[in-house]
Amino acid sequence: MKITVIGTGYVGLVTGACFSEMGNNVYCIDIDNEKVECLKKGIIPIYEPGLEELVIKNQSKGDLFFTTNLKKGLNNSNICFIAVGTPMGEDGSANLQHVLDVAKDIGQLIDHDMIVVNKSTVPVGTADKVKATILKELERRNLKLNIEVVSNPEFLKEGSAVEDFMRPDRVVIGSENENVIETLKELYAPFTSNHERFITMDVRSAEMTKYAANTMLATRISFMNEIANICEKIGADINNVRKGIGSDKRIGYNFLYAGCGYGGSCFPKDVKALIKIADNHGYDANILKEVEALNNQQKLSLVRKVVDKFGENLSGLTFGIWGLSFKPETDDMREAPSVVTVNKLCQLGAKVRVYDPQAMEVAKKYYFKDNKQVKYAENKYDALDKIHALLLLTEWKEFRSPDFDEMSKRMLNKIIFDGRNQYNKEILKEIGFEYHQIGNGTQGS
């Protein structure tokens, strides 16, 4: 099939690359000429395993094109995906300006019937606004075309987005037009051939599904962090509690890990957006408000443990940080607990040595650019030189089985504050480490 994908951010780039991998002819459009030129050279602006290889391979095959020329893409397509950003507004709502600007451009340039697919995460009712915007522009041009606007929310996880697209849990299509549904079913057939994962519903339900999925996962995380905080007070161990409840098939183990809070571009934004959507319709989303409040509090959980140990004045102390990205296998630091943690430690007077396998350049450029108290280590062990304690914030694989002897030689104090509960407390105790976990109230530290 012939496809245009508007927006070469995280979602758009993965979508375009994966569709082209199955032999579709894909035009990826972006207004950033510098970004487009880099993509043509195979230079990817984000870290996502497997993505660079797909982009380079499918450009060389002639199935994937990058351009700033939207008209060229539309002229060569019968399906157009909108995958531009919907940044959070000051009031917490999703800002639809980019989506509606794209809809206006489509209406001004298109000259044949088109299926327009909303891939961006948008509030319920956005498809109606997109269609109205396109039709308004067509009316100005005295053109009557058949435009079908569909909701097709993405469920990609950063760090495994290519795998998620290639082998999806489900493909949700919001449309009541049978011809459109059949066309998209054919497009997605290579990704859903093993068993039926293609789910159709009305447009508004599809738009709501994305928000419901992300806020449900955020709720599980905040719930477990709540239980972890109670465990610390009563002398229980959240790791044992997780095993006890996760074995219940009604609950399961996924997203039951306590830690220092969730981050990224999706969960925080979507929780806020759904709270605002509910508020706009006269409903008070109390559970979601508590999910958000607890997560904001949880991001400072390791700082509170540090203060309990060293006091509120951290001047003269240096702390190592392992992990800056909000999760492993990405360089994304948006809303990451590391940003809050590092800034608070510095505010209390500490110096910080940070290390992350992928997010170092992002940290230097965007998050700690002018912070003279932050130093950047070449590797995980260099981050430990003469530090008073280590804080682990992201569960990268290379942090799972470190050389504790090497750590002992470099650290001034053998103290670890673990925000992801990676290590065995009893083993660390035997080799002389003081170990602080999230949600472990048993036998002190």
Strand ranges across the sheet with 389-392: 374-376, 351-355, 318-322, 389-392, 415-418, 434-437
Residue 346 designated active-site: no
Burial of 316 (0-12, 13-18, 19+ CB in 10 A): exposed
Closest CA to 183 of 116, 103, 110: 116
Give the phi and the psi of residue 150 in degrees, each rounded to 5: -120, 150
**What's the mean pLDDT in 279-283?**
96
Residue 373 and residue 375: Cα distance in Å, rounded? 7
Q: Tokens for 98?
A: 């980019």
- What sign does the CA torsion over 74, 76, 81, 86 have? negative
Q: How confident is the model at residue 445 (pLDDT cuts 50, 70, 90)?
A: very low
Q: How far is CA 55 from CA 34, 48, 189, 243, in A?
A: 17, 12, 21, 41
CB 64 within 8 A of CB 55: yes
Q: Tokens for 165?
A: 């697209």
Give the phi and the psi of residue 441 in degrees, each rounded to 5: -100, 15
- Per-residue pLDDT, 389: 98
Query: Mean pLDDT of all residues in the chain?
Result: 96
Share of the chain above pLDDT 90, in %: 95
406 residue type, one letter: E
- Per-residue pLDDT, 196: 78
- Per-residue pLDDT, 255: 93
- Per-residue pLDDT, 195: 65
**What's the mean pLDDT in 229-253?**
96
A 10 A CB-CB count for 282 gives 6
> pLDDT tens digits for 367-383?
999 999 999 999 999 99
78 residue type, one letter: N
Q: Which residues of 351-380 are buried (b: 16+ CB within 10 A; e: fewer)?
A: bbbbbbbbbbebbeeebbeeeeebbbbeeb
Q: How confident is the model at residue 441 (pLDDT cuts 50, 70, 90)?
A: confident
- What sign does the CA torsion over 249, 250, 255, 260 have? negative
Q: Which residues of 175-208 are buried (b: 16+ CB within 10 A; e: fewer)?
A: beeeebbebbeebbeebbeeeeebebbebbebbb
> pLDDT tens digits for 54-71?
999 999 999 999 999 999
**What's the mean pLDDT in 31-41?**
97
Strands (E), 7-71: 25-29, 64-67
Residue 276 and residue 294: Cα distance in Å, rounded? 18
Q: Are strands 374-376 and 351-355 parallel, antiparallel or unpaired?
A: parallel
34 membership: H or E segment, kind and range: helix 33-40
Residue 130 and residue 107: Cα distance in Å, rounded? 10
Residue with tokens 């000051």: 90
**What's the mean pLDDT in 435-443?**
85
**What's the mean pLDDT in 160-177?**
96
CB 356 within 8 A of CB 324: yes
Catalytic entry in 28, 80, 266, 346:
266
Residue 19 and residue 21: Cα distance in Å, rounded? 5
Q: Are strands 79-82 and 198-201 parallel, antiparallel or unpaired?
A: unpaired
Angle between helices 286-298 and 267-280 in degrees, nearest 10: 150
A 10 A CB-CB count for 102 gives 25
- Per-residue pLDDT, 9: 94
Residue with tokens 């800034």: 343
Task: Write the DSSP string, 111-171.
Answer: -S-EEEEE-S---TTHHHHHHHHHHHHHHHTT----EEEEE----PPTTSHHHHHHS-S-E
**What's the mean pLDDT in 286-307?**
98
> pLDDT tens digits for 413-428?
999 999 999 999 899 9
pLDDT above 90: residue 91: no
Give the phi and the psi of residue 161 in degrees, each rounded to 5: -65, -40
- Per-residue pLDDT, 444: 47
**What's the mean pLDDT in 326-336?**
96
Residue 242 and residue 130: Cα distance in Å, rounded? 44
Task: Write the DSSP string, 263-277.
Answer: -SSSHHHHHHHHHHH
164 residue type, one letter: D
Residue 444 and residue 149: Cα distance in Å, rounded? 58
